[in-house]
């Protein structure tokens, strides 16, 4: 018996009086105790499948064909597409549970965990007298220490990983037959990600629960899932056992996703990037052939005539591609490590034993709490053309260090020098030195870009801050040059952020930082949560800027593979301290500090035969971190 079976599932939308097929003829199945991974870029249709299950499609979208058969433990089979809304509501949250992508927004900030979890149990029919015991048992199962205290807290008083564990506990509280996990580890630390995955897999196996695991990370899917379905523009382009899809993908799109992910081990090659982006609704309406053809490096005339059928390559392994295209491997030229462009040059930035202490709040008697040492005696230097990575879990002090470098926070102790000038104390003079030499690229381009400004005015914003007195013609010329330098088409110059893709917004963010020709960029988690294909574009752009302009970089990230790809040197931070520093390759090969070893063990390895999540000493350290 299979828990969920999709047969010819299609979803259509109305656009300018025309019907556009968004999801087209999806076929897949999940057995009890198995995990099916849905992999693809944003816009591929992964999350829309979850919306079909929950009957929460956006306005104007509707299921236009096929079925979605759900089998509960009693053997009763129901078509979720055709069944009555009231009957479906009885299944959702009980027999079918969801783990959403953003735990902090999925939980109500105005209610305690007890209130929200209790409301969920009440809906499941759990008697009031039994709810406390059920909640504590569920929170204990997801390894939350002090579950009684957790119940009394509000979501904003918990970390992202703790909130995600609460949602996992709520999802499995009813012992569901099916769990839909939509990007449950996106943007989490490697340590938290490994813990969350281990908890989910343990509960899923203990309860023999079928799981739909939605992710843009092919490497993670290969480690978590039994089977993988790769989606592109609403179609399954490849489906099969996770090991085969990961180690020997046949569709050009799957191979491109694989080649866009930097490896944790082995030789480094330039990441492969796809041109353009996933087609939107208007583009889909005009595509007659293969939906991937406009971006495919091996397409021929036949690809644009009619959509290819799914072909069976081997038992359980299907691919939607012409025989002439399937099996294509994109070229991957090697890259070489690049230290400072001039080994004898002076550092652009010197951070000398900098510390930041945040005093504790006062209690009702006026006594001040202990406070937090966010950064403790941290030191680093960056020369022209040198890329330095700063890694560590959330709360380790990485972002606070970036704020200290940029002058957004004042250090409690230590010195910060830029081109030999002491800029520790804030003043008009030090602000001018910083503005001329340093620029910051923020993590979230959506919130970093003013939605009311067109691209031209966004990328030349620092010309206003510097009061350069540039004319409109000069700003237009500078904006045009910056778009070309960051690989953006010139027609975007008059568009607004809402009209741009996520990757385009981040490029605009970088273009704005380059406007005053800085010598050093400070980038804080700038590829966190992006599709791997967009991430590859941004990483390659940074490498090109280093080659062409000799720009230095302080790159803050929790993604170890990304830091290995970009950075020659790295610092590892834990609880405000720099616990290890050195050449990136040396640290990856021979980590000295237990915390560094635990971080490296927590990252999903490229080799599927290597155990993951870690066990033994690494798992003990990981548990202490989580």
pLDDT number for residue 341: 46
Task: Determine, yes or no, domain membership for 622.
Answer: no
pLDDT number for residue 342: 44
Cβ(214)–Cβ(229) under 8 Å?
no
29 and 62 part of one domain: yes
Total Cβ atoms within 10 A of residue 328: 15
Going by C-alpha positions, the residue among 496, 44, 541 that lies closest to residue 251 is 44
Tokens of 175: 């012992």
pLDDT number for residue 517: 83
- Strand bridging mode 18-30 / 4-15: antiparallel
Q: What spatial distance separates the first Cα and last Cα of the chain, rounded to whole Å?
A: 37
Domain of residue 544, CATH code: 3.40.50.300
Domain around 531? 349-590
| Domain endpoint, select from 333, 360, 390 | 333
| Domain endpoint, select from 304, 333, 362 | 333
Cβ(150)–Cβ(187) under 8 Å?
no
- Strand bridging mode 577-583 / 569-574: antiparallel
**Phi, psi dihedral angles at 603 (to 5 degrees):** -75, 135
355 and 477 part of one domain: yes
325 and 382 part of one domain: no
Hunting for tokens 């993604």 — which residue is that?
559
The secondary structure element, H or E, covering residue 376 is strand 372-382
Task: Determine, yes or no, domain membership for 464.
Answer: yes
Q: Could you tell me which residues are beta bridge partners of residue 393?
A: none
Q: What is the DSSP letter of 506?
A: H
Task: Determine, yes or no, domain membership for 496.
Answer: yes
Task: Determine, yes or no, domain membership for 338.
Answer: no
Strand ranges (DSSP E) for 190-322? 210-215, 227-232, 235-241, 310-314, 317-320
324 and 354 part of one domain: no
d(CA 590, CA 96): 45
Task: Determine, yes or no, domain membership for 516.
Answer: yes
Tokens of 2: 């299979």
d(CA 186, CA 102): 8
Task: Determine, yes or no, domain membership for 481.
Answer: yes
pLDDT number for residue 545: 87
pLDDT number for residue 467: 62
313 and 392 part of one domain: no
Cβ(13)–Cβ(52) under 8 Å?
no
225 and 276 part of one domain: yes
d(CA 8, CA 27): 6
414 and 540 part of one domain: yes
Cβ(64)–Cβ(24) under 8 Å?
no
| Domain endpoint, select from 308, 333, 358 | 333
Task: Determine, yes or no, domain membership for 110.
Answer: no
Cβ(357)–Cβ(412) under 8 Å?
yes
Tokens of 366: 């006026």
pLDDT number for residue 605: 85
Could you read off the pLDDT of 287-340 as tens digits, one per residue? 889 999 999 888 888 888 888 999 999 999 999 998 777 656 666 677 766 554
Average pLDDT of each block of 10 consecutive residues along the chain (626 residues)?
94 88 94 95 89 91 95 82 90 92 85 96 94 95 92 90 92 94 84 88 92 92 95 96 93 91 89 83 88 89 88 93 70 63 74 93 75 93 94 90 94 96 92 89 83 93 72 90 86 90 83 89 86 86 88 92 94 96 95 94 86 63 50
497 and 367 part of one domain: yes
d(CA 25, CA 7): 7
318 and 365 part of one domain: no
185 and 316 part of one domain: yes
pLDDT number for residue 340: 44
**Which residues in 513-532 are b (16+ Cβ under 10 Å) and which e?**
bbbbebbbbbbbbbbbbbbb
Residues making up the chain, counted from first to last:
626
Task: Determine, yes or no, domain membership for 132.
Answer: no
Positive or negative: CA dihedral 376, 379, 385, 391: negative
312 and 384 part of one domain: no
pTM for the full model?
A: 0.87
Q: What is the DSSP letter of 126?
A: -
**Phi, psi dihedral angles at 17 (to 5 degrees):** 80, 5
The secondary structure element, H or E, covering residue 247 is helix 242-247
413 and 454 part of one domain: yes
| Total structural domains within the chain | 2
């Amino acid at each position: 018996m299979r828990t969920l079976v999709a047969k010819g599932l299609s979803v259509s939308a109305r656009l300018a009086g025309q019907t556009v097929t968004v999801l087209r003829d999806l076929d897949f199945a999940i057995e009890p105790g198995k995990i099916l991974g849905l992999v693809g870029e944003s816009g591929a249709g992964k999350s829309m499948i979850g919306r079909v299950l929950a009957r929460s499609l956006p306005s104007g979208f509707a299921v236009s064909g096929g079925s979605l058969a759900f089998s509960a433990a009693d053997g009763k089979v129901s078509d979720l597409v055709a069944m009555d809304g009231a009957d479906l509501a009885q299944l959702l949250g009980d027999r079918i549970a969801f783990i959403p992508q953003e735990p902090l927004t999925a939980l109500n900030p105005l209610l305690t965990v007890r209130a929200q979890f209790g409301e969920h149990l009440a809906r499941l029919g759990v008697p009031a007298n039994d709810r406390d015991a059920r909640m504590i048992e569920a929170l204990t199962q997801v390894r939350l220490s002090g579950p009684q205290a957790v119940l009394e807290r509000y979501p904003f008083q918990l970390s992202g990983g703790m909130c995600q564990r609460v949602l996992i506990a709520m999802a499995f509280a009813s012992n569901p037959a099916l769990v839909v996990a939509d990007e449950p580890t996106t943007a989490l630390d490697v340590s938290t990600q490994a813990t969350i995955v281990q908890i989910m897999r343990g509960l899923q196996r203990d309860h023999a629960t079928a799981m739909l695991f939605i992710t843009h990370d092919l490497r993670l899917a290969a480690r978590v899932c039994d089977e993988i379905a790769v989606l592109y523009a609403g179609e399954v382009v490849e489906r099969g056992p996770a090991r085969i899809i990961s180690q020997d993908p046949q569709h050009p799109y799957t191979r491109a996703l694989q080649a866009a992910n930097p490896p944790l081990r082995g030789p480094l090659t330039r990441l492969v990037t796809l041109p353009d982006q996933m087609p939107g609704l208007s583009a889909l309406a005009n595509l007659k052939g293969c939906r991937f053809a406009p971006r495919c490096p091996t397409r021929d005339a036949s690809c644009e005539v009619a959509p290819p059928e799914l072909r069976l390559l081997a038992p359980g392994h299907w691919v939607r591609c012409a025989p002439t295209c399937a099996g294509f491997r994109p070229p991957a030229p090697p890259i070489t490590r690049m230290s400072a462009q001039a080994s004898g040059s002076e550092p652009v930035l010197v951070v000398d034993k900098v510390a930041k202490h945040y005093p504790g709040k006062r209690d009702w008697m006026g006594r001040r709490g202990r406070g937090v040492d966010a950064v403790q005696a941290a030191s680093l230097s960056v020369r022209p053309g040198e890329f330095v990575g700063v890694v560590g879990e959330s709360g380790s002090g990485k972002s606070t260090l970036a704020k200290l470098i940029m002058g957004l926070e004042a250090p409690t102790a230590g010195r910060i020098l830029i081109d030999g000038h002491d800029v520790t104390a804030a003043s008009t003079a030090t602000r001018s030195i910083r503005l001329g030499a340093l620029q910051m690229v923020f993590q979230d381009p959506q919130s970093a870009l003013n939605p009311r400004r067109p691209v031209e005015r966004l990328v030349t914003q620092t010309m206003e801050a510097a009061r350069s007195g540039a004319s409109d013609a000069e700003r237009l010329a500078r904006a045009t040059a910056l778009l070309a330098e960051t690989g953006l088409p010139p027609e975007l110059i008059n568009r607004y952020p809402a009209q741009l893709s996520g990757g385009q917004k981040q490029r605009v963010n970088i273009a704005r930082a380059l406007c005053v020709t800085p010598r050093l960029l400070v980038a804080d988690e700038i590829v966190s949560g992006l599709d791997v294909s967009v991430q590859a574009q941004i990483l390659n752009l940074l490498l090109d800027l280093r080659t062409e302009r000799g720009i230095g970089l302080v790159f803050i990230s929790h993604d170890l593979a990304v830091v290995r790809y970009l950075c020659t040197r790295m610092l590892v931070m834990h609880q405000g301290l720099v616990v290890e520093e050195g050449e990136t390759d040396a640290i990856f090969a021979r980590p000295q500090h237990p915390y560094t070893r635990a971080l490296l063990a927590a990252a999903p390895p490229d080799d599927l035969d290597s155990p993951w999540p870690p066990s033994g000493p690494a798992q003990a350290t990981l548990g202490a971190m989580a």
